[in-house]
């Protein structure tokens, strides 16, 4: 049947452990959605899935057309930019707290059963 090989990370087994452990994924917990590199594009992608944000984006784009312009271009952009900024800050803070909790969980001391 199926079996597995367990190699202790002790003394003379250390080299064999390091060689075998590279073949497997680690078991670290990661519940965060963002990284520093993908925060802005991914957050904007998620925010523009909301119909209200698409509506305000449509108004901003429509106001850039000279024939339809109702207000100054910058004034039309303020509500959209304000809402996007507030939600991005909220999402960033929530993700950072998830990162801290993940780090705390991954650094917990565990007990290993050994005969």
Q: Is the pLDDT of residue 115 over 70?
A: no
Angstrom distance (rounded) from CA 22 to CA 103:
21
In the block, tokens 């497997």 appear at 24
Indicate if the alpha-carbon torsion angle 48, 51, 55, 61 is positive or negative. positive
Average pLDDT over residues 61-80: 84
Model pTM greater than 0.85? no
Q: What is the mean pLDDT of the chain?
A: 84
Q: Is the pLDDT of residue 99 over 60?
A: yes
pLDDT digits (tens, 9 = 90+) for 6-41: 655 566 677 777 777 777 777 788 899 999 999 999
């Amino acid at each position: 049947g199926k079996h597995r090989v367990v190699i202790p990370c002790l003394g003379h087994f250390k080299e064999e452990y390091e060689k075998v452990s590279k073949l497997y994924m680690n078991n670290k917990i990661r519940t965060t959605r963002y990284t520093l590199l993908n925060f802005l594009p991914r957050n904007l992608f998620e925010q523009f899935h909301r119909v209200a944000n698409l509506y305000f984006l449509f108004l901003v784009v429509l106001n850039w057309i000279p024939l339809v312009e109702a207000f100054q271009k910058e004034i039309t952009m303020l509500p959209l930019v304000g809402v996007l900024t507030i939600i991005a800050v909220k999402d960033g803070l929530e993700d950072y707290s998830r990162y801290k909790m993940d780090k705390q969980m991954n650094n917990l001391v565990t007990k290993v059963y050994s005969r």
